[in-house]
């Protein structure tokens, strides 16, 4: 006798029975596709799809979708079986390398050259193409959309992994947001592509806010594969929306709250967060600051990445949050636009698992920080009476790979910077470094030791050719991203660019004069403005031409994508009057026959982490401080540090 079904099961069975044949088939297809998306291919899915495909009167589009999905699943399963078979043969050959004829035959077959009329690019497994796509900047990945359906699918999965939605008065942004909401409701496959959702709010209280909130509430559960969520702007995330988010996505791994106040009462009910980001100007929000401590305590088993930001002009403190034992388990910590107390520094000193650390803002007691950084030492391995072998391992943060130390209004404390530089000595694994306003002579003595360095942000107050050459000689040749800032320069900054051509893997170079900006319409007009703007952009292009490897140029606080064309194919369609591109007829351009076109990237929005604008790599994003919610005052301008 079959067991009696529970009420829910019975109700579902009854509802399914009431459907038409085509509706049942559609339900079966959607369920099968969901199983395939989650990697549950097997005999059950084969049975479902077999029954579905034998149903008469099916829409042709759905039949094609089912066949493609089943074909992909069968191909993937076959490739896995072939790999397992290969491992079996290899393992068996260890036990019987000579006598087994089947093994010998298999070995001879595998050693033969494989000839095929199919292009090598088409024989590469999908997993390899997906891995390749992970290294392609999103701007250039768009070209994959037009290569083939196979490449298009990979590109769409990468491009739509992160989606930024803007709920504001701007009708264009609002229409795009509504289109996304409608799409996720009707297209489960598209919905599952979106792993990171960042919602930007810009509404005051009123009827329109109520409408937007209701639309958002209804759409949120449709983002079915969401792993990371960020709420940015005003109004801040409050208790009612926290409960909506908890109901629809209780297992979020990353959560960001970026606004002016901390109003998210109940956010500590999330219990599986791996990253938590909070930017609040002060302690006057609706939520108690003790809730931040509760977030840390309730996620002690999972939380490894913490970002806390504030506003230096207002009173605030993170001492309570840093009382949590979870701090000791963190691997990534960013303190941004905030006051840093001795209590916080002392807790950081005991967070031995930290791999990445950002300290940006003001130190309440610079002398205490000097003492903490200065207390670090490197014990040497080796015994008495034997030759000492230098195996550096720091007592303070021994696993550090990324370090950002940018102070606001405290850049003249040389003793503090000397202690920080001492703390950074003998760290060959350090990959990213940003020391803010640290004197150049201290940085110059440090970087030759950092053989693992790949991303550097450095400030040279008085820039000269000798200083640039010293910087280039000191850096590892494998550099990926460099940001060079100066107060004054003896030459135009683009003239230093050829010195960086020795870095064959350099993907981004930013040359930044702190007092240099794009020509402004408020200061000049007409032909003069056009002439000055053309000159400004021409200097930007010279940087791109001088360093052939770079895909992104930073120029005095603004960012550009570098699009390169071969001269013979591009020259006929090129117009020299176009301010965004030119042929490479100078600075090495003529020799390479290259044409360079610059595509200007959107400026950073206030309170935005900047993740919506891709700079090609995590190294470049980190170097440009786009990984943290820093409040920028004007478009294209950095904060003063």
Query: Lowest-confidence range among 244-253, 330-339, 384-393, 523-532?
Result: 384-393
Angstrom CA distances, 572 to 132, 564, 586, 591, stand at 32, 15, 19, 18
Residue 640 pLDDT grade (very low, low, confident, very high; cuts 50, 70, 90): very low
- Beta carbons of 252 and 226 less than 8 angstroms apart: yes
Asked if pLDDT for residue 4 goes beyond 60, the answer is no
CA pair distance 623, 549, nearest whole angstrom: 18
Query: Lowest-confidence range among 190-194, 283-287, 387-391?
Result: 387-391
Displacement of CA 174 from its chain's centroid (Å)? 25
Give the tens place of pLDDT for each residue, 115-172. 455 566 667 778 888 888 888 888 888 888 888 888 888 899 888 898 888 887 777 7
- Beta carbons of 598 and 561 less than 8 angstroms apart: yes
What number is the average pLDDT over the span 491-513? Answer: 94
Give percent above pLDDT 70 in the chain. 83
Q: What secondary structure, in 3-state letters, does 126-190 show?
A: HHHHHHHHHCCCHHHHHHHHHCCHHHHHHHHHHHCCEEEEEECCCHHHHHHHHHHHHHHHHCHHH
Q: What angle do CA 336, 337, 342 make, to 5 degrees?
A: 75
**Among 260, 264, 179, which residue's Cα sits nearest to residue 229?**
264
What number is the average pLDDT over the span 167-187? Answer: 83
Average pLDDT, the chain: 82
**Among 243, 230, 288, 290, which residue's Cα sits nearest to residue 269?**
243
Six-digit token pair at 475?
A: 């850096």
Domain ranges of the chain: 7-93
- Beta carbons of 450 and 433 less than 8 angstroms apart: yes
DSSP class of residue 291 equals: H
Six-digit token pair at 340?
A: 């840093």
Six-digit token pair at 431?
A: 């990959």
What number is the average pLDDT over the span 492-499? Answer: 94
Query: Lowest-confidence range among 27-36, 127-136, 578-587?
Result: 578-587
- 278 Cβ contact partners less than 8 Å away, ≥ 6 residues apart: 256, 257, 258, 262, 292, 307, 308, 309
Give the three-class secondary structure for 225: coil
Query: Lowest-confidence range among 113-117, 236-240, 313-317, 577-581?
Result: 577-581
Residue 331 pLDDT grade (very low, low, confident, very high; cuts 50, 70, 90): very high
The answer to whether the pTM exceeds 0.85 is no
Q: What are phi and psi of 484, to 5 degrees?
A: -115, 120
- Beta carbons of 264 and 289 less than 8 angstroms apart: no
pLDDT of residue 566: 64
pLDDT of residue 516: 84
Higher pLDDT, 99 or 478: 478
Residue 632 pLDDT grade (very low, low, confident, very high; cuts 50, 70, 90): very low
CA pair distance 385, 237, nearest whole angstrom: 64
Give the tens place of pLDDT for each residue, 619-630. 998 998 887 776
Give the tens place of pLDDT for each residue, 208-219. 777 778 888 888
**Among 477, 465, 486, which residue's Cα sits nearest to residue 504?**
477
Q: What are phi and psi of 508, to 5 degrees?
A: -145, 135
């Amino acid at each position: 006798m079959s067991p009696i079904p529970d009420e829910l099961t019975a109700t579902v069975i009854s509802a399914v029975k009431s459907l038409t044949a085509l509706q049942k088939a559609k339900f079966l297809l959607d369920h099968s596709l969901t199983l395939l998306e989650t990697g549950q291919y097997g005999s059950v899915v084969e049975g479902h799809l077999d029954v579905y495909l034998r149903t008469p009167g099916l829409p042709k589009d759905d039949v094609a979708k089912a066949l493609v999905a089943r074909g992909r699943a069968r191909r993937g399963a076959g490739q896995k079986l072939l790999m397992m078979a290969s491992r079996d043969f290899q393992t068996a050959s260890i036990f019987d390398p000579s006598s087994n004829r089947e093994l010998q035959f298999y070995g001879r077959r595998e050693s033969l050259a494989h000839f095929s009329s199919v292009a090598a690019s088409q024989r590469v497994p999908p997993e390899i193409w997906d891995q390749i796509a992970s290294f392609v900047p999103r701007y250039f990945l768009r070209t994959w959309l037009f290569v083939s359906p196979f490449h298009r699918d990979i590109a769409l999965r990468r491009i739509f992994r992160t989606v930024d939605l803007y709920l504001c008065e701007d009708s264009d942004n609002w229409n795009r947001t509504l289109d996304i909401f409608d799409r996720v409701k009707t297209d489960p496959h598209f919905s599952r592509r979106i792993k990171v959702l960042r919602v930007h709010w810009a509404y005051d209280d009123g009827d329109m806010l109520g409408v937007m909130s209701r639309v958002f509430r209804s759409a949120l559960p449709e983002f079915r594969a969401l792993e990371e969520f960020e709420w940015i702007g005003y109004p801040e995330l409050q208790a009612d929306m926290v409960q909506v988010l908890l109901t629809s996505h209780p297992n979020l791994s990353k959560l960001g709250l970026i606004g002016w106040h901390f109003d998210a009462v109940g956010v500590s009910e999330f219990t599986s967060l791996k990253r938590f980001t909070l930017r609040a100007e002060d302690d006057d929000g609706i939520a108690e600051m003790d809730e931040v401590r509760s977030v840390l305590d309730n996620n002690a088993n999972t939380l490894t990445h913490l970002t806390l930001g504030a506003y230096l002009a207002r009173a605030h403190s993170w001492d309570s949050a840093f009382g949590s034992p979870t701090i000791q388990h963190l691997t990534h910590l960013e303190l941004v636009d905030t006051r840093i107390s001795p209590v916080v520094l002392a807790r950081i000193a005991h967070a031995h698992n930290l791999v990445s650390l950002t300290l940006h803002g003001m130190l309440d007691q610079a002398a205490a920080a000097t003492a903490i950084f200065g207390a670090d030492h490197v014990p040497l391995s080796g015994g008495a009476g034997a030759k000492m072998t230098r195996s550096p391992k720091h007592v303070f943060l021994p696993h550090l790979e990324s370090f950002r130390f940018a102070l606001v209004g405290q850049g003249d404390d040389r003793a503090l910077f000397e202690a920080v530089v001492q703390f950074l000595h003998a760290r060959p694994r350090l990959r990213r470094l940003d020391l803010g306003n640290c004197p150049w002579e201290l940085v110059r003595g440090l970087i030759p030791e950092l053989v693992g360095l790949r991303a550097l942000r450095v400030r040279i107050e008085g820039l000269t050719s000798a200083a640039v050459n010293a910087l280039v000689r000191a850096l590892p040749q494998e550099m990926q991203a460099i940001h060079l800032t100066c107060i004054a320069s003896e030459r135009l900054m683009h003239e230093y660019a050829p010195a960086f051509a020795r870095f064959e893997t350099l993907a981004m170079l930013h040359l930044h004069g702190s007092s240099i900006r794009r020509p402004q319409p408020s200061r000049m007009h007409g032909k003069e403005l056009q002439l000055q703007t053309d000159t400004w952009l021409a200097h930007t292009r010279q940087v791109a031409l001088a360093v052939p490897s770079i895909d992104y140029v930073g120029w005095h606080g603004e960012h550009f994508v570098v699009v390169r064309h071969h001269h013979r194919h591009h020259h006929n369609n090129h117009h020299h009057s176009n301010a965004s591109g030119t042929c490479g007829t100078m600075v090495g351009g003529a020799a390479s026959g290259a044409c360079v076109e610059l595509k200007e990237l959107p400026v950073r929005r206030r309170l935005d982490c900047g993740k919506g604008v891709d700079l090609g790599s995590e190294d470049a994003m980190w170097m440009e401080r786009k990984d943290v919610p820093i409040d920028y005052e004007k478009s294209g301008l950095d904060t003063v540090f």
